[in-house]
Amino acid sequence: MKCVINRRAQFSASHRYWLPELSEAENKQKFGRGAWFPGHGHNYVLFVSLAGELDEYGMVQNLSEVKKVIKREVTSQLDGAYLNQVWQDFQQTLPTTENIARIIWQRLAPHLPLVNIQLFEHPELWADYQGNDMEAHLTISTHFSAAHRLAHPKLTYEENCEIYGKCARPNGHGHNYHLEITVKGEIDSRTGMIVDLEALQRVIDDYVVEPFDHTFLNKDIPYFTTVVPTAENIAVYIRQLLQQPIQELGAQLYKIKLIESPNNSCEVYCTQTPLSSEPSGINQPILTSVL
């Protein structure tokens, strides 16, 4: 029986976004605060995903051995290091989150049956890499607070209560929504970036966070005057809002995940090339609940 297992590791390191062929002004314009001297640091969290058949001992891989490999090939070299200098790979392509994940894959692939490398730079930014040459995924996490009422405009109050329960009450209710936007693209061979991160953050803020935050969705967002603002419909609408602006930045919107509460979240996929764990109906919203 085939199974996927995950091993967590962590390291602390610093880096700087700086290209010697550019002037100081050009570097600051291109990389913003990332170009500041002497650099900045992060507490990186790494998830190594492995796949394989269960052996006679009930394991895909002996996790004690996996831990040793990750330490030998990655964390012992990166922990406490200045990434721009520690590995030759980062002389050619800068140590962005997505490029670090790519190089970690290359270091571990000869020793482990990898299916995914996930690297968190911090809780609101992480990358996934699956061994597809220079292609990677980058995720930004953000949030907004909004109220809504679940009620279909063509149904009576009683009929809406039958379908939506307490969520159909006339004055609505609110959520602290958490939103994850995943983009897909080619890592630039020099900058190490899929997309300009500050530009991507501006698009998300301008098209979603600022217009949605502290609103009553049914009344303040015209789209939801005729569409019931369920988590699924909100995620689908956010996908509509972001696809074109992100494409104009040179990347491809891959997935929207909207977390309405600790018990409910919705995922909408935007491409036909899923991550290994992705459901088959990728163009439909996927609602996941914890009971």
Which residues are identified as catalytic? 167, 214, 260
Q: Is the dihedral of CA 182, 188, 191, 192 positive or negative?
A: positive
**Whole-angstrom Cα distance, residue 65 to residue 234?**
44
Give the chain's radius of gyration (CA, Å). Answer: 22
Among residues 228, 225, 247, which one has the least CA distance to residue 236?
228
**Whole-angstrom Cα distance, residue 250 to residue 46?**
27
Whether the bond between 38 and the residue before it is cis, its omega within 30 degrees of 0, is: yes
Tokens of 19: 């290209």
Q: What is the DSSP string of 170-219?
A: TT-EEEEEEEEEEEEEEPPTTT--SS-HHHHHHHHIIIIIHHHTTEEHHH
Q: Residue 167 CB: number of other CB atoms within 10 A?
A: 16
**Whole-angstrom Cα distance, residue 140 to residue 40?**
19
**Whole-angstrom Cα distance, residue 288 to residue 38?**
43
Among residues 139, 138, 178, 182, which one has the least CA distance to residue 271?
182
Kind of pairing, strands 215-216 and 135-148? parallel
Give the SS3 label for residue 5. Answer: strand
**Whole-angstrom Cα distance, residue 161 to residue 150?**
9
**Whole-angstrom Cα distance, residue 90 to residue 158?**
62
Tokens of 183: 């983009």
